[in-house]
Structure 1
Amino acid sequence: MIFVYILYSKEFDRFYVGMTYNLENRLSQHNTGQVKSTKPFLPWKIIHHESHPNRLEARKREKYLKSSAGRRWRKNNLGM
């Protein structure tokens, strides 16, 4: 199982979309500053996650969520 997740930094009103095999470990990496692209916007909170059976399907969903259509989906379904 591989997870696609959306993080939110309330303090900076920023979102981050990613994928991982271990959701708890990955969130810990984001919140301890180990990820260069998210380090300046600590702290992060998981606002949405989905599981996918393989990396190919997860990558398709991650790319969609990073697109303008995916941002619209996030706004309509997550209220953000």
Structure 2
Amino acid sequence: MPYTYILYSEKIDKYYIGACTDMQRRLYEHNIGHSKFTKTGMPWTIVYTEEFDTLLQAKQRELQIKKMKSRKYIEGLISVR
């Protein structure tokens, strides 16, 4: 199942937005330093997910959230859940 997800790092007090088809595998990759950006914030925790029918839809939603460029918007999404 494709997902759009938001991770949070308490260490650097930042959110990371992404899309994938295997949420557990992707979280594992972030927490072993697979990505240059997320390497600095380990450990990451999942704070928000949305499920989609296709990966394309999940990536479109990822871009929509990123375009908001707003921590308030992200925290609003998280608090609704």
Structure-1-length-normalised TM-score: 0.86
Show structure 2 runs of 5+ residues with no match: none
Q: Which residue of structure 1 aligns with residue 76 of structure 2?
A: 76
Letter paired with 2:40: P
Task: Say which SS state the counterpart of residue 3 (structure 2) adopts.
Answer: strand
Q: Which residue of structure 2 aligns with residue 64 of structure 1?
A: 64
Q: Which residue of structure 2 aligns with residue 27 of structure 1?
A: 27
Q: Which residue of structure 1 aligns with residue 36 of structure 2?
A: 36
The CA RMSD over aligned residues, in Å, is 1.7
Give the deviation of 1:75 after TM superposition.
Answer: 2.6
Task: Say which SS state the counterpart of residue 48 (structure 2) adopts.
Answer: strand
Letter paired with 1:10: E
Letter paired with 2:10: K
Work out whether residues 4 and 18 of structure 1, in 8 Å CA contact, stay in contact via their aligned partners in 2. yes
CA 1:69–1:38: 2 relative to 1, 3 Å? closer
Task: Say which SS state the counterpart of residue 43 (structure 1) adopts.
Answer: coil
Structure 1 consecutive aligned stretches of length 4 or more whose deviation exceeds 6 Å? none
Give the deviation of 1:68 after TM superposition.
Answer: 1.9
Show structure 1 runs of 5+ residues with no match: none
Q: Which residue of structure 2 aligns with residue 15 of structure 1?
A: 15
Structure-2-length-normalised TM-score: 0.85
Task: Say which SS state the counterpart of residue 77 (structure 1) adopts.
Answer: helix
